[in-house]
Amino acid sequence: MTEQIEQVERPGSLAAVVREIEAHASAAGWDAPEQLFALVSTADLVRAEPELAQALGLDPATADGVTPVEQESLPPGQALEDVLAGIAWPAAVAGAAAVAERLVLPPGADADVPEDPAEAREYAARHPDRQEVRMVAAVLRTGETACAMRLRSHDADDLVLTGPDLVPQLLTLLHATLDPEDTPDE
């Protein structure tokens, strides 16, 4: 039997922000479009937008961590992975987060996945042991990462899986958007 350990996350920490983003996505329901968030320093946000800070109940004296800022919808028909390949966040952005829903196959099923992407999607959609998951991945320029994953078949707040590296490929793509070597000079 697996024992569940309750973790206390400080407000504004990356793990807490990932849980907040996952709860926001969960409130919208399943089959939602992919989402992208800029993560900004809460202290910088409070200084730059005092009215917003007041409306959110943020105390300028204790504001720390990061705050997610939801970005515009992704272009229709464009995959999150392709969008991320073309993004370079400015230095004022402390990190980035993404939300995506995917079909996950059980171990061993990948040997039978067709090479063609369209056929692979069809294969996954028809596989009897597929699982639908909502993934949230976030990275900071400091290298810190956090992830959350909710299974559609176990859709309960207390069953959301969390950890620093649950979605390694998405974390890699998000890190690349923060790479200063890839960021154009302003």
Q: What is the mean pLDDT of residues 41-57?
A: 84
Tell me if 88 is assigned to some domain. Answer: yes
Tell me if 93 is assigned to some domain. Answer: yes
Kindly report the backbone phi and psi dihedral angles of residue 151, in degrees, each rounded to the nearest multiple of 5, phi listed first.
Answer: -85, 135
Is the predicted pLDDT of residue 50 greater than 50, yes or no?
Answer: yes
Residue 22 lies in domain: 14-178
Write the DSSP string, 53-102: HHHHT--TTT--SEEEEEPPPPPTT--HHHHHHT----TT--EEEEEEEE
pLDDT band at 3 (very low <50, low <70, confident <90, very high): very low
Q: What is the mean pLDDT of the chain?
A: 86
User: Which residue type, as a one-letter code, is found at position 74?
Assistant: L
Neighbours of 54 (CB within 10 A): 12
Tell me if 186 is assigned to some domain. Answer: no
pTM: 0.83
Tell me if 36 is assigned to some domain. Answer: yes
Instruction: Encode pLDDT of 60-113 as tens digits.
Output: 777 788 989 999 998 888 889 999 999 999 999 999 999 999 988 888 877 888
Of 17-21, 69-73, 177-181, give the lowest mean pLDDT range. 177-181
pLDDT band at 12 (very low <50, low <70, confident <90, very high): low
Is the predicted pLDDT of residue 31 greater than 50, yes or no?
Answer: yes
Percent of the chain predicted with pLDDT > 70: 90
Q: How far is CA 130 from the centre of its chain?
A: 21
Tell me if 53 is assigned to some domain. Answer: yes
Contact (CB, 8 A) for 95 and 138: yes
Tell me if 48 is assigned to some domain. Answer: yes
Report how many domains make up the chain.
1
Tell me if 1 is assigned to some domain. Answer: no
Tell me if 184 is assigned to some domain. Answer: no
pLDDT of residue 58: 75
Instruction: Encode pLDDT of 149-166 as tens digits.
Output: 999 999 999 999 999 999
